[in-house]
Structure 1
Amino acid sequence: MLDRTKETSHVFAAVLARVQAALDALVAKGALPAGLERGRVLVEPPRDASHGDLATNAAMVLAKDAGQKPRDLAESIAEALRGDDWVQSVDVAGPGFINMTLKPQVWRAALKATLLAGADYARGVPGGAPVNVEYVSANPTGPMHVGHCRGAVFGDALANLLEFAGRRVTREYYINDAGAQVDVLGRSAYLRYLEALGDEIGAIPDGLYPGDYLVPVGQALARRFGPDLKDKPEAEWLPVVRKTAIDMMMAMIRDDLAALNVRHDVFFSERSLIEGATDQVGATIAALRAEGKVYEGRLPPPKGAPPEDWEDREQTLFRATEFGDDIDRPLKKSDGSYTYFASDIAYHKNKVLRGFDDLIDVWGADHGGYVKRMQAAVKAVSEGRAALDVKIVQLVKLLRAGQPVKMSKRAGDFVTLREVVDEVGKDAVRFMMLYRKNDAVLDFDLAKVIEQSRDNPVFYVQYGHARGRSIFRNARDTLPDMPEDWKGPAALKLWLAGAPLDRLDDPGEIALMRTLAQFPRLVEAAAAAHEPHRIAFYLYDLASDFHAQYTRGGKDSPHLRFIIQDDPTLTSARLALVQGVITVLSVGLGLLGVEAPDEMR
């Protein structure tokens, strides 16, 4: 039973199944009522590692419905588990927690499953429900800054994680190419057009974009149109200049994202909602009105400072309060044009009509107050079928050796994403942007992220992978029969899986195998919670354990070295453990979009 690969590839799920079997046995004996709801029964690591390998809350969540004391039920479950061939010992703690220690061969079998799965270790079964992940969606009014960078990395890593877990993911970018801000962009680009023609434009007026990044736009307009636009009224030149500027800004944004290895499947234009064959915003409002979800009315005066979208007048309102929001929301401005919210409702309805009932939006810190109304809108346009999870990405404080970084001359008032990537590299940016939960402010120190020390998480994790590769290179003399290509072909998998893993009995080796076995559960949990930072935290812990075991094999404990010159069978077993670490570090780094190097330079 201990060698069943499917079972040992996900130890936590397998032990949960064994807990459920123990509960079934109690039901069969009449010691537990039949039909209890067991959906909340979990198996997870205990908070204190000294309490065992795994813990279950079965007694705590079932006791009330079973009409028993939690401690008494826990003792009954523990007794049933003691006969399981995976379980070495079971203890009941506190009011009824059940702590289990598994036999070492379980962890060895889990390592074997890791080796055989290779790059597919912890991968979910494909075919899950489709999910739309919208991220970045920066206004196309200039280059992306370091704040956009965090949202881009978070969204891309989340999409990677969901795909790996088995979901069908569409990565989407919403181009905000309608509204006042792109008109300001057009007017700013027009000044640069005049400048390119030789006109003296002086200082950029307040309210326009001052950055030098619009100089190439002006030059492109001058090459294409010559002086023809100068004599036209704004109503004629603005659409032309605006479109050229948006197209060039989006090309710049795509190029910046490519430098970060961020990609999207769909670039959706906001302007297409109102300028296509159908006015989708108007059609959405009309459909909601027909369903009684839109009405003409007045908003009461708000408490405290009034929000920007409040006006004391009769207006078109969405019944947001019926779907969980605090107040109803305006859909049209006093001049009859649509509010941003109205366009956003139509856009999210478009997503629903494309078959997405699971929506994830990644927004910046300044959009926190917008969440409840958008979630209410998604409920309304989908008849409650679709769900929207909004992940707020907090601010990034850019530092160098602890000091704030000066603003970019090119951008005018911020540091661009590209400047950061060019200075420290894609891998450092991506890993560190994920090495903190998305809703916490992040200090990003340009000096720290290129240090070669344990204090630099990206270096420490990548060094763990490179160290593992180096061990294999050095083992060639001791194990001349080892398959030549050690990068993961079938021959090496089988060779390592056939190593005498029972010789891995040092507590540090057992601990490493136990950590590796946690990865499938971690992937499932991180994907379900939409929290890719959990992967980064786990990889740092795994690399730390690996480096610690390597260090233990130094001068004081040479018998713990991964390569034992006069014991090739023990060496092969330890190389199997090293390959397990390499495999999981490579898979995990891949989910984050970070390279797993063979050597560090």
Structure 2
Amino acid sequence: MNLFSDLRALVIDSLAAMEAEGALPAGLDLSNVAVEPPRDAAHGDMATNAAMVLAKPAGRKPRDIAEALAPRLMADPRVTLAEVAGPGFLNLRLAPAVWQGVVGRVLAEGTGFGRSGMGQGQKVNVEYVSANPTGPLHVGHTRGAVFGDALANLLAYSGHRVTREYYINDGGAQVDVLARSVYLRYLEAHGQEVAFEDGTYPGDYLIEVGQALKDKVGDAYVGQPEDVWLTEVRDFATDRMMDLIRADLAALGVAMDVFFSEKSLYGTGRIEAAIEALKARGLIYVGVLEPPKGKTPEDWEPREQTLFRSTEHGDDVDRPIMKSDGSWTYFAPDIAYHFDKISRGFDALIDVFGADHGGYVKRMKAAVSALSGGAVPLDIKLTQLVKLYQNGEPFKMSKRAGTFVTLRDVVDQVGPDVTRFHMLTRKNDAPLDFDFAKVLEQSKDNPVFYVQYAHARICSVLRKAAEAGIVADDATLAAADLAKLGHEAEIAVAKKLAEWPRLVEIAARSHEPHRVAFYLYELASDFHALWNRGNEDPSLRFLQEGDPATSQAKIALARAVAVVISAGLGILGVTPLDEMR
């Protein structure tokens, strides 16, 4: 059920009738006609822009169209008032029974309320985290992991078939550095003193890996040259790091469907196949690039390179895919990886990158556009930095990783639910402050607490109803006399519930799961406001002594709020609480 879609259908049907009667010219494009909440709630429950968007193609004044449309809409029993405003906006007020009916629908549909077929079963690949397998995930990866996972959940909830994917960057020089770092820890495990040179990873997390390598091979690599042990140690260390990363993700509640190895692209012809696909489209050539910005011809050495003509697909400059020595650039395997995704039949691709990858967006979009002939869209979401605080002061933690605060540090400190919710309290491309004291604070200013508290309060109402002998299962509540929900505060909560299906579709379409967190906070605020008014006005309390019928209607409203909160938290990957401790 999407009440806004239902009312839009009423508007479209009314416009079609006007066309049939000659009040409007036939064949108008109605695709831009919308029904939305008004900017000011005082203006009504909903508003439609129909007259405004149709005036020019219809050759009519918008106000004339609106005045002709208004009585047709008011003929529907759901609409009590259709009022023309300004140059031609049409504000609608709906009967209380409409909002009361929303409560019944929520309880009848359960967690299916708000689910959408918008995605039409489209196959979407969401790639996120994809950190180098050289150490534990840090707090920046945490935000990308939460955002990507919530986005994947949101898309699945809205009717897409989603694959969650991690790209293991195990094909570059950084894994050789990892191998050398582990080898030092391996020597250390044999009692040798070692020095970590610049470029190696000194984090304590490699101590266990070095010991594990010793347990596996004994002293076989001690004193041996690098060419003897590098390949084996690299594979061993990468596997151990990926085990650590999987455990970190599990602690956050993230489970990937696919782990794709960059290394699998080398020596298999897959990079060459991707480049050949671009060459077949006339997009590969040998040439010389202009000096980068800030470089002058005097300090720039032009050299011939094999280039991808990415400017033909929206990029600012063409991009090298092969160096002058014949080796691939770092961009080439990424092209091949996305070619593989396209070949797997995905209808859309989403990459979640850190803020430092902003310069990579246009070239990657150009590659996917070229490889798919424009058929497969790629959306790249950048997650901005996270700043850690404790009571407003920059927060320092023991850095087992050697150089950064880890995901596990954060989760161990505040728990996965608080971590996940708070990471979604800002849009992905806005900086985020994470204050360890404030995210655990039990106050209205802490969104995760406020939403969890609303759910816990509702669970307490249900427990008290059971103690009072009031039947309060969802089927019984859905059949209650919901006309008893007549107070403006109760209707306000029902109106907020009605927004949920529309919100899901907007958030899914824009790839913005933070909208769910914002909505849940607003819904919780409306519920808490109703609860607090009940402290002053006994008629608004959820349990009405001696009146089980009214109690059931009011409990139905509370239970509907819990259903939607539970569904929303499920998208965010957060567990709803039955009681606060």
Give the AA of the match of 1:577: L
- Structure 1 residues 69-80: aligned runs within 5 Å: 69-80=61-72
Q: Determine if the alignment matches structure 1 residue 193 to structure 2 residue 174.
A: no
Alpha-carbon shift at residue 481 of structure 1 (Å): 5.0
Q: 1:182 to 1:317 in 2, by over 3 A?
A: same
Q: Determine if the alignment matches structure 1 residue 482 to structure 2 residue 462.
A: no
Q: 1: CA distance between counterparts of 2:494 and 2:45?
A: 12
User: Which consecutive aligned stretches of 4+ in structure 1 deviate over 3 angstroms post-superposition?
Assistant: none
**Equivalent residues of 1:408, 1:416 under 8 A apart:** no
Q: Which runs of 5+ in 2 are unaligned?
A: none
1:361-388: per-residue Cα shift (whole Å, max 9, x none)?
0000000111011000001111111110
Alpha-carbon shift at residue 127 of structure 1 (Å): 5.0
TM-score, scaled to structure 2 = 0.97
**Equivalent residues of 1:87, 1:100 under 8 A apart:** yes
Q: 1: CA distance between counterparts of 2:197 and 2:507?
A: 47
Q: 1: CA distance between counterparts of 2:198 and 2:515?
A: 43
Q: Who is 2:568 aligned against?
A: 588
Q: Who is 1:423 aligned against?
A: 413
Q: Determine if the alignment matches structure 1 residue 469 to structure 2 residue 450.
A: no
1:276-330: per-residue Cα shift (whole Å, max 9, x none)?
xx22112211221132110111111233258xxx962111000000000000000
Q: Who is 1:158 aligned against?
A: 151
Q: Determine if the alignment matches structure 1 residue 458 to structure 2 residue 439.
A: no
Q: Who is 2:100 aligned against?
A: 108
Q: 2: CA distance between counterparts of 1:166 and 1:279?
A: 36
* Greater Cα shift, 427-436 or 229-238: 229-238
Q: Who is 1:257 aligned against?
A: 249
1:446-500: per-residue Cα shift (whole Å, max 9, x none)?
111111111111011001000001011112344x2515xxxxxxxx222111111
Give the AA of the match of 2:525: S
Q: Who is 1:218 aligned against?
A: 210
Alpha-carbon shift at residue 193 of structure 1 (Å): 1.1
CA-based RMSD: 1.3
Q: 2: CA distance between counterparts of 1:536 and 1:311?
A: 51
Q: 2: CA distance between counterparts of 1:415 and 1:49?
A: 44
Q: Provide the secondary structure at the position in 1 that maps to 2:4.
A: helix
Q: Provide the secondary structure at the position in 1 that maps to 2:389.
A: strand
Q: 2: CA distance between counterparts of 1:34 and 1:192?
A: 78
What number of residue pairs does the alignment pair up? 577
**Equivalent residues of 1:137, 1:174 under 8 A apart:** yes
Alpha-carbon shift at residue 428 of structure 1 (Å): 0.4
Q: Determine if the alignment matches structure 1 residue 176 to structure 2 residue 169.
A: yes
**Equivalent residues of 1:10, 1:110 under 8 A apart:** no
Query: Equivalent of 1:68, from 60, 71, 74?
Result: 60
Q: Determine if the alignment matches structure 1 residue 495 to structure 2 residue 484.
A: no
Q: Who is 2:2 aligned against?
A: 10
**Equivalent residues of 2:470, 2:552 under 8 A apart:** no
Q: Who is 1:131 aligned against?
A: 124
Q: Determine if the alignment matches structure 1 residue 549 to structure 2 residue 530.
A: yes
Q: Who is 1:526 aligned against?
A: 507
Q: Provide the secondary structure at the position in 2 that maps to 1:230.
A: coil
Query: Equivalent of 2:485, from 498, 504, 527?
Result: 504
Q: Determine if the alignment matches structure 1 residue 281 to structure 2 residue 234.
A: no
Q: Determine if the alignment matches structure 1 residue 358 to structure 2 residue 348.
A: yes
Give the AA of the match of 2:541: R
Q: Provide the secondary structure at the position in 1 that maps to 2:222.
A: helix
Alpha-carbon shift at residue 76 of structure 1 (Å): 1.8
**Equivalent residues of 2:81, 2:94 under 8 A apart:** yes
Alpha-carbon shift at residue 335 of structure 1 (Å): 2.8
Q: 1: CA distance between counterparts of 2:85 and 2:527?
A: 31
**Equivalent residues of 2:542, 2:554 under 8 A apart:** yes
Give the AA of the match of 1:42: A
Give the AA of the match of 2:471: M
Q: Determine if the alignment matches structure 1 residue 240 to structure 2 residue 232.
A: yes
Q: Provide the secondary structure at the position in 2 that maps to 1:171.
A: strand
Q: 2: CA distance between counterparts of 1:41 and 1:78?
A: 15
**Equivalent residues of 1:136, 1:362 under 8 A apart:** yes
Give the AA of the match of 2:496: T
Q: Who is 2:335 aligned against?
A: 345
TM-score, scaled to structure 1 = 0.94
Q: Provide the secondary structure at the position in 2 that maps to 1:295.
A: strand
Q: 1: CA distance between counterparts of 2:16 and 2:274?
A: 51
Q: 1:219 to 1:477 in 2, by over 3 A?
A: closer
Q: Who is 1:572 aligned against?
A: 552
Q: Who is 1:538 aligned against?
A: 519
1:63-84: per-residue Cα shift (whole Å, max 9, x none)?
1111112222222222321212
1:332-385: per-residue Cα shift (whole Å, max 9, x none)?
123322111111110000000000120000000000111011000001111111
1:402-426: per-residue Cα shift (whole Å, max 9, x none)?
1111253311111000011011011
**Equivalent residues of 2:399, 2:406 under 8 A apart:** no
Q: Provide the secondary structure at the position in 2 that maps to 1:229.
A: coil
* Greater Cα shift, 221-230 or 506-515: 221-230
Give the AA of the match of 1:513: A
Q: Who is 2:140 aligned against?
A: 147
Percent pairwise identity: 61
Q: 2: CA distance between counterparts of 1:53 and 1:377?
A: 45
Q: Provide the secondary structure at the position in 1 that maps to 2:215.
A: helix
Q: Which runs of 5+ in 1 are unaligned?
A: 1-8, 484-491
Q: Determine if the alignment matches structure 1 residue 368 to structure 2 residue 369.
A: no
Q: Determine if the alignment matches structure 1 residue 403 to structure 2 residue 383.
A: no
